[in-house]
Amino acid sequence: MPLYEYKCEKCCLRFELKRRFSEDGGACCPRCHGKARRLFSPVPIIFKGSGFYVTEGRKDHNRQSDKDKVGKDDGNEKWDTASSE
């Protein structure tokens, strides 16, 4: 059975009750027997697997990659076109 959290409207007591899905949502406060309302809270999210951390997949932008080093032409190379025949 699920566990639900309630809060009394009169005395503001917070308490938990195990209730069936088929039961009505209304509950009475165990302290003052006033009307209590069910509280809803956010569900925790668990990220599993790769790709969720800040450091994963991030490239260092200050460093040149190997592709940039191989394919980059800096203009200092001299080509001898006359001897290619």
Measure the CA–CA gap between 71 and 74, rounded to whole angstroms.
10
Question: Is the separation of the CB atoms in 10 and 29 below 8 Å?
Answer: yes
Which structure tokens are listed for 3? 């566990």
* pLDDT tens sequence across 26-38: 889 999 999 999 9
| pLDDT higher than threshold 60 for residue 83 | no
Which structure tokens are listed for 44? 């925790």
Which has the higher per-residue pLDDT, 50 or 72? 50
Residue 80 is predicted with a pLDDT of: 58
Residue 11 is predicted with a pLDDT of: 95
* Mean pLDDT along residues 45-74: 63
C-alpha dist (Å) from residue 53 to 4, 12, 23, 57, 59: 33, 40, 42, 9, 13
